[in-house]
Amino acid sequence: MIQRIYSILYRITANLFPDSYCYVSFLGKSYHISIGLKYRRFLAKHIIKKCGKEVNIERHSHFGRNIVLGDYSGIGSRCHVPNGVVIGSHVMMGPEVVFYVRNHLFSRLDVPMCQQGFGEVKPIVIEDDVWIGRRVIILPGVTIGRGSVIGAGAVVAKDIPPYSVAVGNPCKVVRNRINNGI
């Protein structure tokens, strides 16, 4: 019940706190504080299943309660992160990234597709130290390996091995970060 209250508070008030930055000087040091970020972080810690420390959740993002967000990771502005997504630590996510954890059913020809419902939920796993570019689409059941980079606009339909650089639609590995080649 408490989780639901925080979720409602988040939706109602998240847009009331734009990224209001202020600079505070204390004992000769300057600190850059985002009031909106602190507020979103506070509410997120009470909404989602597991929320790491120092997370960054940008404005207008939609996320389910049953997600995991690791330490020092971020959800970009206008991202959609439904239940069933696990995001590791130190993950950077550009704006407008969309995760799909299930698809429409369409195997029966005698029933309109819109009436066939949805398939099973297939969780998505983003391992540690991953960078996901702007407007990437990640499809059900995908795992993106540790240390990978996914280029802007990619459609990720298959698992990405660790330390890969992958781009395109469909997303393909173009190089490996360990040896700078494939």
Containing 34, the helix (H) or strand (E) segment is strand 29-34
Residues annotated as catalytic (active site), given as ranges: 104
Q: C-alpha distances in angstroms, 156 versus 46, 53, 86, 173, 178? A: 30, 27, 16, 10, 21
pLDDT value of position 32: 44
Q: Tell me: the pLDDT tens digits for 45-70? A: 777 788 888 888 887 788 888 889 99
pLDDT at 137 over 60: yes
Spell out the CATH class of 49-181.
mainly beta
Does 28 score more than 70 pLDDT? Answer: no
Q: Where are the domains of the chain?
A: 49-181
Q: What's the pTM value of the predicted model, to 2 decimals?
A: 0.78
